[in-house]
Amino acid sequence: MHMFFIYVSVILSIIIFIPLYRVVTGPTIYDRMLCSGSIATSSMVLILMVGFIFNRIDMFIDIAMAYSCLNFIGVIAFAKYLGTLGKRRKNGT
Amino acid sequence: MGLKEILSIIFISSGTFFMFVGSLGLIRLPDFYSRAHATGKVDTLAIILVIIGLVIYEGFSVNSAKLIIIITFVALTNPTATNALARAAYKFRLRPWFKKDKSKKRQKKNELGN
């Protein structure tokens, strides 16, 4: 079971590189933000896997919780900022 | 290897597979809205499956209660964040991709969001 967690974390850290391509070469800024959110959710699962590998899950669960909170607040603040930007452009300034 | 570990291996493997499918959709789909459609649902399902597998492996303790709290938090917030981003893109008048815009120039103009 310990080896299985190591395999899963290796596969996850390979999967994280796929949205990173879209972050680097995204056509719009929304694509970049969406894919960085996807990277954050994948790395939250990776943190939980690392906690099970080192047998310190009681510490790593709190880190994962804080990480998912930070991801949500970042995406919401970004969407709010871009929404006000669109409203300002509609008025013509 | 007992029944508990086999069950958790099945759940974690299917969750990793769904996470791979969601990442593939981010690359393959042509438009921002369809990419949001790919990652908003599939990533949520993948995280729920992986953490259910971890709860089954952990057993009945305080840590599994915290894992269930993470499940409910992610299931509430991940679609909300995607919806907020898509709403901001719609307010910014980012045009969706249609099948008739086959020429490269037109598509590029649409993606830049004028």
**pLDDT 10s per residue in chain A (93 long)?**
889 999 999 999 999 999 999 889 878 888 898 999 999 999 999 999 999 999 888 899 999 999 999 999 999 998 888 877 655 555 444
Contact A79 B81 (CB under 8 A): yes
pTM of the model: 0.84
Shortest CA gap B66–chain A (Å)? 7
B4 and chain A: CB distance < 8 Å anywhere?
no
Half-sphere exposure of B108 (CA within 13 A, CB side): 3
Number of domains in chain A: 1
Q: Which of residues 45-64 of B touch A (CB under 8 A)?
A: 46-47, 50-51, 54, 57-58, 62-63
Give the orientation angle of helix A2-15 with respect to helix A29-53, to 10 degrees: 170
Contact B23 A38 (CB under 8 A): yes
pLDDT in tens, B28-77: 888 888 989 888 889 999 999 999 999 999 888 898 999 999 999 999 99
**Cα A3 to Cα A49, A75, B10, distances in angstroms:** 11, 34, 15
Contact A42 B23 (CB under 8 A): yes
Mean of the per-residue pLDDT values of chain B: 85
Contact A12 B84 (CB under 8 A): no
Q: Which residue of A has its CA nearest to B26?
A: A19
Let me know: does A72 contact B77? Beta carbons within 8 Å: yes
Q: Dihedral of the CA atoms A36, B28, B92, B98 (nearest 10)? A: -170
Contact list, B32 vs chain A (CB under 8 Å): 28, 30-31, 34
In b/e form, how buried is each residue of B77-112, taking b as 16+ CB within 10 angstroms? bbeebbebbbebbebbebbeeeeebeeeeebeebbe
